[in-house]
């Protein structure tokens, strides 16, 4: 690539970014999302952004009488974007943690989850014990990333490689550039259900709960929390669960139960 071509590409990239930001700023609510996070937020065959959390946010915006715009943002970029006010809220199966509550706010959770390890059928890997000396993939800054780093010595991972979403990680997994991929179990179960060459080989219990993230102390968090309470009462979120996962949500989960809004220290 020549210097002139590089300059032209940089100028075009900047223009597209500006146009995307201008479009987002024209909406009442700007929502950051790591598009490609199946089945939570991704593009369908027509290019439309869809998914469990997209449906949920669209309904919340409708109840609040506001327009909404989704901005594709790498997972790790969601935190500074919401804290700086570049976006009003963030989704991408974001886990509520005590550490995160120190700097951001969350509405009440709407999904209970765990992590999982996925491998190819031909690899012969049947669980974490088979990852000795192997390369594991994770999503940058995710709960799976933190879990893998914490347990790297225990399971003797040869290396940890970081990705921006499920799709590029799966490409590397199938190509043999990584040996296993650790990420949210609902996304992986959804992804591999029609792909016999891939298999979720182990559930990793973490007690995660997903929610929408806001800047610390933003009043919008309370407003959204109230709408989520109403949607749970109407059974709307439980219906979303059936639509996207093909199974009924258990009454004991945060998909059905109304819970308190998480509070940090």
Domain boundaries, the chain: 18-112+209-245, 113-207
Check if 18-112+209-245 and 113-207 are the same fold.
yes
Q: CATH number for the 113-207 domain, one of 3.30.70.1400, 3.40.50.10950, 3.10.450.50, 3.40.190.10? A: 3.40.190.10
- pTM for the whole thing? 0.77
Distances (CA, A) of 243 to 35, 91, 196, 237: 19, 19, 22, 10
Nearest 5°: CA angle at 214, between 52 and 88? 85
CATH number of 18-112+209-245: 3.40.190.10
Nearest to 33 by CA among 23, 44, 25, 43: 43
pLDDT tens sequence for the chain (265 residues): 444 444 454 444 444 444 444 444 589 999 999 998 989 999 999 999 999 999 999 999 999 999 999 999 999 999 999 999 999 999 999 999 999 999 999 999 999 999 999 999 999 999 999 999 999 999 999 999 999 999 999 999 999 999 998 999 999 999 999 999 999 998 898 899 889 999 999 999 999 999 999 999 999 999 999 999 999 999 999 999 999 988 888 899 999 999 999 997 6
Secondary structure (3-state) at 99: helix
Nearest 5°: CA angle at 26, between 86 and 17? 55
Q: Is 72 exposed, middle or buried (0-12, 13-18, 19+ CB in 10 A)?
A: middle
């Amino acid at each position: 690539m020549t210097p002139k071509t590089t300059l032209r590409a940089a100028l075009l990239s900047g223009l597209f970014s500006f146009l995307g930001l201008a479009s987002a700023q024209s909406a009442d609510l700007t929502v950051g999302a790591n598009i490609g996070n199946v089945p939570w937020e991704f593009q369908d065959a027509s290019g439309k952004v869809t998914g469990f959390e997209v449906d949920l946010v669209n309904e919340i915006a409708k109840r609040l009488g506001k327009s909404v715009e989704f901005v594709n943002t790498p997972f790790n970029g969601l935190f500074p974007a919401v804290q700086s006010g570049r976006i009003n809220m963030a989704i991408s199966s974001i886990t509520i943690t005590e550490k995160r509550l120190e700097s951001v706010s969350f509405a009440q959770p709407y999904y209970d989850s765990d992590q999982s390890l996925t491998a190819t059928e031909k690899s012969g890997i049947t669980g974490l014990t088979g990852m000795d000396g192997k390369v594991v993939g994770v999503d940058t800054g995710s709960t799976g990333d933190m879990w893998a780093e914490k347990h790297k010595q225990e399971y003797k991972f040869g290396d940890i490689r970081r990705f921006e979403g499920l799709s590029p990680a799966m490409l590397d997994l199938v190509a043999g550039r990584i040996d296993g991929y650790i990420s949210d179990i609902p996304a992986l179960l959804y992804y591999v259900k029609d792909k016999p060459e891939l298999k979720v080989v182990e559930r990793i219990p973490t007690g995660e709960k997903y929610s929408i993230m806001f800047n610390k102390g933003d009043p919008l968090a309370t407003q959204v929390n109230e709408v989520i309470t109403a949607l749970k009462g109407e059974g709307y979120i439980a219906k979303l669960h059936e639509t996207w996962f093909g199974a009924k949500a258990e009454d004991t989960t945060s998909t059905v139960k109304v819970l308190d809004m998480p509070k940090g220290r």
